[in-house]
């Protein structure tokens, strides 16, 4: 049984070690929230809210998530006990959307649950792999730099390379990368940037044998996406479109994709991911664990997610040092030969390092059950 008696919001600003440009903009740092839950038995659980400062990937922002946490989700977590973390997402149904905010609490409940039961997070959610295959997501940059980045990550053993594409930055980089790396598993992520008028361009990508094209069209462009998939040999992978099991059902019904990038924050947490995984397996849809430029805390969840059966493709979980100097966990996430070893210690398997968190912390808010915040 989990009874939460204290919650701490840690808000951090962390400079990124990479310049990350996508079709929706450039990111050079992260403004994020870490959630710390203290249970009545003394167990501490950590979660991460993957919302960004700007609502460019989805509607949530760090500020909106903080408001929803303070006004809704923290009072909710104090209002009852939880036999199991799977109870949290249904209990929060009255709060519409705001799935990234919800996952930051739900994830921390899973961390507590795993520790209480002396299970690694991976084991607690039913994962089996001892190591997970990872790829890397490379932003938009001049072609010479892109080629040397691809070479760099390939030599580090990453199992596939994802590049960001957008109208006007698609055939050219894909063609040139293919020339240099004819057999490398390669994919493009458009982050919603194409429209119906661009189908011909996207069809031209077929001959470069990409593993998939991720989220070519707008989040809600379901009908167009199904039409596009019918015209392409290359599988479409959906990211931004999939928020819920209902979205997944719609994608299946319309045959809008063959692959789904699962992000815990985008779908509302681990319980939602477990249910989606079950559906995907029976629908024969391949899954992989996506990334949102997480700190080590969020990264630990992404590693555990990838250990589930059904996660058959390399994820976006690059090593800590690619993003942060230093990361806020011990040990950092390390990629060796394109794999991350799955921790076997109870809980996340990576310890939050408070002095490193303090290096980046801009706001700390403390909540105690039965008291107003201070
Ligand atoms: O679309 O997958 C995406 C990062 C931020 C927001 C959206 C996306 C991404 C990435 C990077 O592609 C994944 C990572 O390295 O964490
Ligand atoms: Mg994506």
Q: Read off the pLDDT of residues 151-186 as tens digits, 9 standing for 90 and up.
A: 999 999 999 999 999 999 999 999 999 999 999 999
pLDDT in tens, 30-70: 999 999 999 999 999 999 999 999 999 999 999 999 999 99
Question: pTM of the predicted model, to two decimals?
Answer: 0.98
326 upstream amide cis, omega within 30 of 0: yes
Q: State in Å, rounded, how far the first CA of the chain is from the last one.
A: 27
Percent of the chain with pLDDT over 70: 99
- For the segment 182-191, the average pLDDT, to the nearest whole number, is 98
Q: How far is the CA of 22 from the centre of ligand 1 (A)?
A: 9
Cβ atoms within 10 Å of 118's Cβ, excluding its own: 11
Which of the residues 164, 207, 278, 341 is marked catalytic? 164
Ligand 1: which residue has its CA nearest to atom 6? Answer: 292
Question: Could you give the 3-state DSSP secondary structure of residue 13?
Answer: strand
Strands 286-289 and 329-330: unpaired
Local confidence band at 291 (pLDDT 50, 70, 90 cut-offs): very high
Ligand 1 atom at minimal distance to the Cα of residue 318:
15
Percent of the chain with pLDDT over 90: 99
Residue 365: the pLDDT is 98
pLDDT in tens, 143-157: 999 999 999 999 999
Pocket test for ligand 1, best of 23, 137, 241 (most atoms within 8 A of CB): 137
Residue 374: the pLDDT is 58
Residue 372 above 90 pLDDT? no
Residue 371: the pLDDT is 86
pLDDT in tens, 315-349: 999 999 999 999 999 999 999 999 999 999 999 99
Which of the residues 102, 129, 166, 263 is marked catalytic? 263
Ligand 1: which residue has its CA nearest to atom 8? Answer: 292
Point out the least confidently predicted range of 175-179, 231-235, 270-274, 367-371.
367-371
Residue recorded with tokens 């719609």: 250
Q: How far is the CA of 56 from the centre of ligand 1 (A)?
A: 12
Distances (CA, A) of 227 to 59, 118, 204, 257: 26, 48, 16, 10
Q: Which residues contact 256 (CB under 8 A, 6 or more apart)?
A: 222, 225, 226, 229, 236, 238, 241, 250
Q: Is 263 a catalytic residue?
A: yes
Report d(CA 217, CA 228) in Å as an integer: 9
Q: What is the phi/psi pair of residue 328, to 5°?
A: -100, 15
Residue 255 above 90 pLDDT? yes
Distances (CA, A) of 56 to 52, 198, 240: 8, 21, 11
Q: Is 164 a catalytic residue?
A: yes
Local confidence band at 250 (pLDDT 50, 70, 90 cut-offs): very high
Q: Which bound ligand lies closest to the C-alpha atom of 54?
A: 1
């Amino acid at each position: 049984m989990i009874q939460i008696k204290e919650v701490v919001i840690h808000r951090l600003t962390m400079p990124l070690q990479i310049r990350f440009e996508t079709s929706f903009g450039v990111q050079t740092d992260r403004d994020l929230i870490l959630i710390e839950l203290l249970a009545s038995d003394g167990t501490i659980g950590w979660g991460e809210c993957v919302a960004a400062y700007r609502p460019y990937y989805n509607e949530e922002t760090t500020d909106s998530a903080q408001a929803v946490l303070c006004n809704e989700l923290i009072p909710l977590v104090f209002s009852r006990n939880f036999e199991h973390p799977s109870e949290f997402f249904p209990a929060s149904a009255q709060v519409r959307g705001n799935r990234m905010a919800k996952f930051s609490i739900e994830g921390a409940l899973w961390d507590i649950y795993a520790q209480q039961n002396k299970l690694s997070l991976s084991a607690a959610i039913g994962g089996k792999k001892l190591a997970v295959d990872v790829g890397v997501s490379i932003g938009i940059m001049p072609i010479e730099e892109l080629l040397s980045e691809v070479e760099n990550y390939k030599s580090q053993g990453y199992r596939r390379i994802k590049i960001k594409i957008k109208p006007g930055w698609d055939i050219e980089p894909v063609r040139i990368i293919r020339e240099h790396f004819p057999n490398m598993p390669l994919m493009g992520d458009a982050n919603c940037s194409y429209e119906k008028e661009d189908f011909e361009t996207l069809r031209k990508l077929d001959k470069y044998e990409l593993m998939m094209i991720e989220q070519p069209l707008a989040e809600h462009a379901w009908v167009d996406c199904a039409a596009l998939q019918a015209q392409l040999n290359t599988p479409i992978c959906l990211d931004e479109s999939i928020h819920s099991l209902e979205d997944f059902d719609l994608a299946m019904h319309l045959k809008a994709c063959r692959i789904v990038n699962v992000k815990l924050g985008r779908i509302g947490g681990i319980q939602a991911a477990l249910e989606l995984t079950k559906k995907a397996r029976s629908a024969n849809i391949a899954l992989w664990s996506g990334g949102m430029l997480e700190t080590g805390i969020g990264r630990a969840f992404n590693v555990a997610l990838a250990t589930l059966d059904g996660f058959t493709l390399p994820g976006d979980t690059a090593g800590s040092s690619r993003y942060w100097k230093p990361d806020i966990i011990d040990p950092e996430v390390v990629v060796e030969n394109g794999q991350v070893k799955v921790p076997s210690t109870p809980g996340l398997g990576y310890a939050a390092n408070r002095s490193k968190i303090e290096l980046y912390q801009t706001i700390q808010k403390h909540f105690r059950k039965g008291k107003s915040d201070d």
